Amino acid sequence: SVVTANKAMLAYHRAELEELAKNYHFGYEASVAGGIPVIYALRDGLPANHIMSIKGIINGTCNYILTRMMKEGAGFENVLADAQKLGYAEANPSADVDGYDSAHKLLILASIAYGINAKPEDIMIEGIRTIDAEDIAFAKEYGYVIKLLAIAKKRSDDEVELRVHPALISSEHILADVDGVMNGVAIVGDKVGETMYYGAGAGGDATASAVIANLIEIARSESPAAMMGFNKPLETGLKLANKGDISSKYYIRIEAKDELGVLGKIATVLSEYKISVENFMQKNKGNLASLLLSTHIAKEDDIQKALLSIETLDCIVKKPVMIRIEG
């Protein structure tokens, strides 16, 4: 029998491990969301459900940083430095703030829900470095919070979206109050509807709680359970969806020279790609202007092309920032 908390290993090698573990217990509850028994919930609690979506706040470092940015209006770099001092972020914070840790955990959950064997390099992974106080201010103004989400979503009978990126979510959503270093995972099943699991995502005691749960499971049972709960899969033949095929609402921040005609040029590009604007805010700073806007539902590919095109405009001083809006 094996019990592990090593999510990076599972992110890359879980299919081989499942093959090897056929006749052994293989416990990995601690690999995702620390002390929250979310793997038990997904594998043993919801096996009657086709999973429609999983949305997880599963990196405490990012959530701590974003929560403080939301509450204090502080900038990313300042809060990161503080988080490093407090031990909530590593000296090299890349695995956390660039989204890789969340991606590793997402892939594990997606294997259980969808039996899908993707690798980190196959999926969209964006971190939180580009988010700044203006984005936070816009989010607040329109009733959103910003969270780093790990998302698995069944898009059709044969396709699954897997992606990690910051997202604006409604401040009314049950995940919006998952603050600080805490983790939360919202799982929608076709029968059960939306469920949510909340708790400490890291720390020695929380991890021990999950590891020991696996040990007790092994002690209690005689024959090993299927590692991913998938001896007779509910889902089969699902493929990973193309990254560019997502549809979503989008938030965009564009920094430009404050001169005549800027808004017109940007609006022209957006309409070229059939992107329509829902909310718009402009903030001027000296001879620069920040244009903050959210769109109606658009296609990821169109947004990406529009942003590239906007970036080449003379009046643009910085690569535009885009954050997806997840309901």
228-257 residues near a copy of itself, rule: CB under 8 A:
229, 231
Task: Name the nearest CA neighbour of 166 among 149, 185, 181.
Answer: 149
- By CB under 8 A, is residue 196 in contact with a copy of itself? yes
67 forms part of the interface with a copy of itself (CB under 8 A)? no
Task: Please give the size of the binding site for a copy of itself, defined by CB under 8 A.
Answer: 46
**Single-letter amino acid, residue 204:** G
Judged by beta carbon, residue 51 or residue 316, the one nearer a copy of itself is 51
Using the rule CB under 8 A, which residue among 91, 222, 264, 286 binds a copy of itself? 222
Cβ 195 to a copy of itself shortest distance, Å? 3
Burial class (CB in 10 A: 0-12, 13-18, 19+), 129: middle
Query: Is the C-alpha dihedral spanning 263, 268, 270, 276 positive or negative?
Result: positive
Question: Residue 152 in contact with residue 113, Cβ under 8 Å?
Answer: yes
Check binding of 217 to a copy of itself (CB under 8 A).
yes
| 225 contributes a contact to a copy of itself by CB under 8 A | yes
Residue 72 binding a copy of itself, by CB under 8 A = no
In angstroms, the CA 104 to CA 14 distance is 11
Span of 18-26, 42-50, 53-61, 264-272 interacting with a copy of itself by CB under 8 A: 42-50
- Residue 95's CB is within 10 A of a number of other CB atoms, namely 17
Given the residues 105, 147, 153, 154, select the one marked as catalytic. 105
Smallest gap, in angstroms, from Cβ of residue 37 to a copy of itself?
A: 2
By the rule CB under 8 A, 35 interacts with a copy of itself: yes
Rounded to an integer, what distance in angstroms lies between the CA atom of residue 66 and that of residue 148? 8
Residues facing 146 on adjacent strands = 168
Residue 176 C-beta: closest distance to a copy of itself, Å: 8
Contact segment (CB under 8 A) with a copy of itself among 10-18, 105-113, 115-123, 196-204 equals: 196-204
The answer to whether 45 contacts a copy of itself (rule: CB under 8 A) is: yes
Can residue 49 be called a binding residue for a copy of itself (CB under 8 A)? yes
State which of positions 163-192 bind a copy of itself (CB under 8 A).
174, 176-178, 189, 191-192
Catalytic residue status for 239: no
Residue 156 sits in the site that holds a copy of itself (CB under 8 A): no
Based on the number of CB atoms within 10 Å of its own CB, is 91 exposed (0-12), middle (13-18) or buried (19 or more)? exposed
Determine the interface stretch with a copy of itself among 5-13, 161-169, 198-206, 240-248 (rule: CB under 8 A).
198-206
Give the SS3 label for residue 324: strand
Measured from the Cβ of residue 6, the count of other Cβ atoms closer than 10 Å reads 12
Enclosing H/E stretch for 184? strand 182-189
CB-neighbour burial class of residue 215 (10 A; exposed 0-12, middle 13-18, buried 19+): middle
From 20, 81, 86, 216, residue interacting with a copy of itself (rule: CB under 8 A) = 216
* Cβ proximity of 70 and 187 under 8 Å: no
Q: Which is nearer to a copy of itself, 84 or 195 (CB)?
A: 195
Q: Which two tokens stand for residue 69?
A: 């940015």
- Residue 282's beta-bridge partner residues? 291
- Phi/psi of residue 85, nearest 5 degrees: -60, -40
Active site residues: 105
Binding interface with a copy of itself (CB under 8 A) = 29, 34-37, 40-41, 44-49, 174, 176-178, 189, 191-200, 205-206, 208-213, 216-217, 220-223, 225-226, 229, 231
